[in-house]
Structure 1
Amino acid sequence: MRTPRRALLLAPLATPALAQGDWPQRPIRIVVPFPPGGATDLLGRLVADGLSTRLRQPVQVENLAGGGTVVGARAVASAAPDGTTLLLATSTTLAVAPALHRALPYDPVRDFAPIALLATVPFLLVVRADGPPDLAALLAEARARPGALAYGSAGPGTPHHLGMEMLAGMAGLRLNHVPYRGSAAALTDLLGGRITAMVVDLAPALPQLRAGALRPLAVTTAARLPDLADVPTIAEAGLAGYEMGAWQGLLAPSGTPGAVVARLAAEVLAALGTPEGTRRLASIGLAPMLRGPEEFAAFLPAEIARWAPIVQASGARAE
């Protein structure tokens, strides 16, 4: 890949180990800006295992949650650009945060060197098993009671919230947003009948889907999910052009030498780009989205531009 100009300017400041081409000489840490146990944390540990094996160097996950992922991202943005501190970021961290926060302590484009896009999080639009039978029926109910139909989310500005706001905007609806602290609490109230619908990531919804307690009306992705092949996309179900998903990518601080970025990209994509890698991603509710540094660098500004009007229309602001 072509080395960014800033990386070339900073190259003389590289450590002797980097200059000698024998990187890495010490352990690597991957900062995950979420608490342990969620899909992004599990992905971070999967990436750490793969890189540790391939680089023959310890790779550790450090959970730095807080500020809606801002705390962890800021820590990596200010870290030494030597390839030993990495960020496992999500679309919330890099694409949504600029519109959600009045001021960010980092610039998603200038302060990071993209390494690789890794995975996407499929989302479902779900109701209770005795709820509306399909998307058309849900939209009809919402139109009949403007502002009354309540939907839950994992919190303001989350994909769960913005996905429903996208749907409402495209369908010309007014809905009642009920935010929760995480998907689990929202699912509990959905099952209890206190809200009518929600957009939820696949992993936490699967047990209730398998038990028959939830009805999936549609998936938010551009294509159907292999494990739910009979569930249409929202676009197929009546809102042409609808597509929403969260994504995760690996980045280093800006100024990290291009050769190190290229090496990290090659190793992490090789680790995940196998049938076993795909299986392990699926086991934590993720789908592969394997793209290298240049594609990631082109993708990010487009995503920031795409999410800005959606966040603005939703009225969401970071607390």
Structure 2
Amino acid sequence: GYGQPGSPQHLYAEYAVRGMPTSVPLVMAKGESAVVQEMLAGRISACFCSWAAVQTHVRSGALRILGVTGPVRSPLSPQVPTLQETGMEGYGALAWYGVMAPAKTPRAIVARLATELDSVTSERGVQAQLMAAGLTPVRDSPDAFATAIRSESVQWQVILRQAGPRSEP
């Protein structure tokens, strides 16, 4: 299951079932907290959710993380394998947040913004707050970030076009 159409969790679920040899039904709930409640009630057997949505239930033992979507294990739960490690060959997807500027912003200003952002995100307190929210700061150059956005846009468009309609619980 997943919580909302077009969300990262929806995309990850579509990406996962696309590589499975048999058809796996995907169920859409009305938001991430709703899909967690469906899991807790036993009406669905697995879901794609953010760490923030499940962390209390994982800590209490009510839910168990089967795998993380990223290409490497998460520092939030290093004992949990990636989906690729569990047998989903080639799987690797991460949600990300980025800082952007208007397209015609001078390169010198973009470079300065990147430097200042690096400085802020390297502060111990900021890193602790990001980790508590389930986020891991990652640094890329502005050009690499732009390339990644273009590449991922194409990848997710293809996956969504191939996805069929989903049912709600």
Matches within 5 A, 1:188-199: 188-199=37-48
Residue of structure 2 equivalent to 1:266: 115
Q: What do you get for the CA RMSD once the two structures are aligned?
A: 1.6
Task: Tell me the TM-score normalized by structure 1.
Answer: 0.49
Task: Letter of the 2:122 partner, please give it.
Answer: G
Paired with 1:300 and 1:165, the residues of 2 have a C-alpha distance of: 19
In 2, are the aligned partners of 1:273 and 1:290 still within 8 Å (CA)?
A: no
Counterpart of 2:64 (choices 204, 210, 215) is: 215
Equivalent pair of 2:5/2:28 in contact (CA under 8 Å): yes
Unaligned runs of 5+ in 2: none
2:156 corresponds, among 299, 307, 313, to 307
Indicate the residue corresponding to 1:283 in structure 2: 132
Q: Does 1:186 align with 2:38?
A: no
Larger Rg: 1
Deviates more, 1:302-311 or 1:184-193: 302-311
1:238 matched residue in structure 2: 87
2:13 to 164, 188, 196: 164
Identity %: 35
Where do 5+ consecutive residues of structure 1 fail to align? 1-151
Aligned to 1:201: 50
Task: Report the AA paired with residue 167 of structure 1.
Answer: A
- How far apart are residue 308 of structure 1 and its match? 2.1
Output the TM-score relative to the length of structure 2.
Answer: 0.89
Secondary structure, counterpart of 2:26 in structure 1:
strand
Larger relative contact order (Cα-Cα within 8 Å, sequence gap ≥ 6): 1
Higher strand share: 1
Amino acid of the structure 2 residue aligned with 1:247: W
CA contact (8 A) 1:203 1:285 kept: yes
2:99 paired with 1:250: yes
Q: Which amino acid letter does the alignment assign opposite residue 242 of structure 1?
A: Y
8 Å contact from structure 1 (residues 216, 231) kept in 2: yes
Question: How far did residue 173 of structure 1 move?
Answer: 2.8
Q: Which runs of 4+ in 1 moved over 6 A?
A: none
